[in-house]
């Protein structure tokens, strides 16, 4: 625990890890720009993160790409964000409104929109009471939408993921990934290149209202 905590303790490494939370692989040059540091400095930080098992490196030709080591690391970071935002007084988020409304949480959706979708699925009985599995009606609805869920996932089929900006749950696990993949394939949401922010298209606004009863401004 102390090794992992020490690896995360530097602000530049925090910036790098937060950038990798969008689920994509980045080069050292891209990560240095995000962290506002020199490329040589970024390389040193990435070596520290690699040695602590928080990131992995993939080589393609002359290029090296870095990504989070897995969902367990993404979950750790998301929980740390929630802890760091805790205050004894009434919570007031300083997160930009667009990012707070819809963003990626590694390979699934987060933010106010994702929380509303989760609430709808719980109310309509798509999810079990503990949020750890799709019910039979939920599986039927996912199939009707075209969201492909792995029948034998190597991780939880679904799980309630605590949203650090909303302080409520959104849908994680394989079902959460399947739902975000569907929205992207349908062109209902668009990812902002280089950021975790997600925007909703005109078609997406119509679909979200029709399926989940969510009115997107």
Spell out the domain ranges in the chain: 2-69, 95-212
List all residues 6 or more positions away from 86 whose beta carbon is below 8 Å from its beta carbon: none
What's the predicted TM-score (pTM) here?
0.65
Of 27-31, 98-102, 116-120, give the lowest mean pLDDT range: 98-102
- Rounded to a whole number of angstroms, the distance between the first and last alpha carbons of the chain is 43
Residue 148 has pLDDT above 50, yes or no: yes
Token look-up 């707070």 returns 100
CATH match for 2-69 among 3.40.630.10, 1.10.10.10, 3.10.20.30, 3.40.50.300: 1.10.10.10
Question: For residue 95, what pLDDT band results from cuts at 50, 70 and 90?
Answer: low
pLDDT value of residue 93 = 52
CA-to-CA separations, 196 to 37, 47, 68, 155, in angstroms, rounded: 20, 24, 14, 23
pLDDT value of residue 23 = 78
Radius of gyration of the chain (CA): 18
Query: In this predicted model, what pLDDT tens digit does every residue of 158-217 receive, in sequence order?
Result: 988 888 788 789 999 999 999 999 999 999 999 887 678 899 999 999 999 999 999 987
Tokens of 176: 């959460």
Q: Measured over all CA atoms, what is the biggest interatomic distance in the chain, rounded to whole angstroms? A: 53
Percent of the chain exceeding pLDDT 90 equals: 46
Which residues on neighbouring strands pair with residue 68, listed in sequence order? 55
Question: For residue 140, what pLDDT band results from cuts at 50, 70 and 90?
Answer: very high
pLDDT value of residue 91 = 47
Higher pLDDT, 24 or 95: 24
User: Which 3-state string (H, E, C) describes the chain?
Assistant: CHHHHHHHCCHHHHHHHHHHCCCCCECHHHHHHHHCCCHHHHHHHHHHHHHCCCEEEEEECCEEEEEECCHHHHHHHHHHHHHHCCCCCCCCCCCCHHHHHCEEECCEEECHHHHHHHHHHHHCCCECCCCCCECHHHHHHHHHHCCCCCCCCCCCCCEEEECCCCCCEEEEHHHHHHHHHHHHHCCCEEECCCCCEEEECHHHHHHHHHHHCCCCC
Residue 49 has pLDDT above 70, yes or no: yes
Higher pLDDT, 60 or 214: 214
pLDDT, the chain, mean:
87
Cα torsion angle, 128, 22, 98, 202, sign: negative
């Amino acid at each position: 625990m102390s090794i992992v905590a020490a690896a995360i303790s530097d602000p530049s490494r925090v910036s790098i890890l937060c950038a990798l939370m969008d689920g994509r692989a980045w080069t050292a040059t891209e990560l240095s720009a995000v962290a506002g540091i020199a490329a040589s400095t970024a390389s040193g930080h990435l070596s520290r993160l690699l040695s602590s098992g928080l990131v992995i490196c993939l080589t393609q030709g002359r290029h090296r790409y870095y990504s989070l080591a897995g969902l367990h690391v993404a979950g750790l970071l998301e929980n740390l964000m929630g802890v760091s935002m805790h205050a004894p007084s009434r919570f007031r988020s300083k997160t930009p409104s667009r990012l707070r409304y819809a963003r990626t949480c590694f390979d699934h959706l987060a933010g106010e929109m994702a929380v509303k979708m989760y609430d709808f699925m719980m109310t309509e009985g798509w999810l079990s009471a503990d949020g750890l599995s799709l019910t039979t009606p939920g599986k039927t609805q996912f199939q009707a939408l075209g969201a492909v869920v792995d029948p034998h996932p190597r991780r939880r089929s679904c799980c309630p993921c605590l949203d650090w900006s909303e302080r409520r749950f959104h849908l994680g696990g394989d079902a959460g990934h399947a739902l975000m993949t569907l929205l992207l394939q349908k062109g209902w949401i668009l990812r902002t290149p280089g950021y975790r922010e997600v925007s909703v298209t005109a078609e997406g606004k119509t679909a979200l209202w029709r399926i989940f009863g969510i009115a997107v401004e």
